[in-house]
Copies of this chain bind each other. A is one copy, B any other.
Amino acid sequence: MNISSPPPERLVHVPLGERAYDILIGPGLIGRAGGEITARLKGRRAAIVTDAHVAPIYLEALMDSLQTDGIEAVSLTLPAGEKTKSLEHLATVTDMVLSARIERNDAVIALGGGVIGDLAGFAAGIVRRGVRFVQIPTSLLAQVDSSVGGKTGINTRHGKNLLGVFHQPDLVLADTSALDTLSEREFRAGYAEVAKYGLIDKPDFFSWLEKNWREVFAGGAARAEAIAVSCQAKSDVVVEDERETGRRALLNLGHTFGHALEAATEYDSRRLVHGEGVAIGMVLAHQFSARLNLASPDEAQRVEAHLKTVGLPTSMNEIPGALPPTEKLLEAIAQDKKVKSGKLTFILTHGIGQAFVADDVPSSEVLGFLEEKRPK
């Protein structure tokens, strides 16, 4: 028994029956991934999928750890960025996984951010109709969002995440030390999703963030705490509604507007990254709710103030470059997959921590609101 390795700081168990799994949250997890994996998975082969940003920093440590624990691993390093979530790269990944003779009890390991997790998870979900999947998210966004819930996917010319499967991971290793190498901008973008959990149904957590956000950014116990609360919050929703037929839609708070803005900026990360789109989207969702007399304008202002304080964009005016006409923005919203029989579905709110699903929002209201809020 190896008594020298410290216990992980936090563990969130996602109780999905036979698809239940653990999320370990703490520093140094990449360096002991092998032991954590062999303790839980039967197979002794692994195919690692990573990207050109992450590989130089963490791939060697991960492969060393796997080798030490007797796991035979191969790796594939893909270009970093949203464009990698394509059918072409999915074909490359599945071919590599099959070449490595990964069987059902072996694992595909995603080492990277959300793009790598979504792509590798999709591959793990379809090779042999499902092999084991281990997530090692290296961005804050991936640790608090895509590491829980089993959504995988790629983009198509029709939109984002339009092809994918639900495939739960068997283990998530959220190495908090990996976040030290993120840029400020990346960390902030992930923080938008952390704040989202407070805005959905945890007003006390949002208040805590208002007071403690500096410590979360600095690292240490507050960071691990914020990640654990976020994973637990997402887990609670996912367990209740694994296939997104109801309550899980709440997790899309800020995302309907956000996805439309990402599409409008052609997924150009120089202009807007996902978390920034979500930040603007959450402010818009609160403002739109106020406009519809569902919530007080004060709540929208409080959300805007906090996100602005941490350095996130909070309005469309802050997006560099021109946006397409308002009708085009509405079209992007309508093509978003949260559409039912042509009606627009939005996550709206009665105030901080009181989000709800509204599935019959008139598009004329949306159009008028966007017209008012967009850069003139």
Contact = CB atoms under 8 A, between A and B. Distances in A.
B341 A43 contact: yes
A143 interface: no
**Max count, chain B CB within 10 A of own CB: residue among A153, A159, A163, A165:** A163
Contacts of A94: 156, 163
Interface string A88-108: 000100110011010111000
A129 B164 contact: yes
Contacts of A91: 87
Within the oligomer, what is the number of copies of this chain? 2
A166 B129 contact: yes
A163 B97 CA distance: 11
Contact of A99 (B95, B125, B158): B158
A127 B163 contact: yes
A87 B94 CA distance: 11
Nearest to A244: B129
Contacts of A159: 98
**Max count, chain B CB within 10 A of own CB: residue among A99, A129, A163, A339:** A129
Contacts of A164: 126, 129
B103 A341 contact: yes
A53 interface: no
A158 B162 CA distance: 26
A340 B128 CA distance: 12
Nearest to A335: B101
Contacts of A234: none
B156 A125 contact: no
A255 interface: no
A105 B156 contact: no
Given A87-B91, A156-B94, A126 B340 contact: no
A356 to B, nearest CB: 20
B105 A165 contact: no
A94 B104 CA distance: 26
A151 interface: yes
A162 B94 CA distance: 9
A337 interface: yes
A105 B340 contact: yes
A322 B27 CA distance: 60
Given A98-B158, A99-B158, A156-B94, A128 B87 contact: no
Interface string A109-149: 00000000000000001111110000000000000000000
Contacts of A101: 335
Q: Which 5 A-B pairs have the closest CB atoms?
A: A98-B158, A129-B164, A126-B163, A128-B337, A87-B91
Given A103-B339, A125-B165, 18 more contacts: A42-B341, A87-B87, A95-B156, A95-B158, A98-B156, A98-B159, A101-B335, A103-B340, A105-B340, A105-B341, A126-B164, A126-B165, A129-B153, A129-B166, A129-B244, A130-B165, A130-B243, A165-B165
6 contacts: A95-B157, A98-B156, A98-B158, A101-B335, A103-B339, A129-B165
